[in-house]
Amino acid sequence: MGETVRVEIRGEASSGSLRSLYSCLIQDPEWRGRVDVIKAPPQPETLSSGLPEALAIALAPGGVVAVLVGAVVSWARRQAVGDVVCKLSRLDGTSVEVSAPIARSLRGADEVRALVEDAVRQLERGSGAADGE
């Protein structure tokens, strides 16, 4: 069975940004049926359901961490303004953050690839990957 990665967003309009990332992911057939919205518990004084707080993304057996990180970096690069930070966490507590301002500042495919590879290495470090410590 695959693993689940939790994705949280901090920054301006984080709830709207989370919905934007969700929409971006489910448009790709690879992620359809694998992405769930985790809602915050409703406030006691309200009758409405909680706001989206995170995404839970089921990875296929064998990983696909690099594909997920690449999709998040691509999404972050398209965020026109704001200091949005996307945190991806594994169940073992290993996590990595992708900052939209940093992603937007990348120039060229080599810089994007380097960011994705670095983020994947960090996220896989605690997962028992062969090159992890």
Please report which confidence band the pLDDT of residue 71 belongs to, taking 50, 70 and 90 as the band edges.
Answer: very high
pLDDT, tens digit, 9 for 90 and up, residues 29-68: 989 899 999 987 777 776 666 667 899 999 877 668 889 9
82, 20 Cβ separation under 8 angstroms: no
Largest distance between two CA atoms of the chain: 50
What's residue 50's pLDDT?
Answer: 64
Q: Tell me the β-bridge partners of 72.
A: none
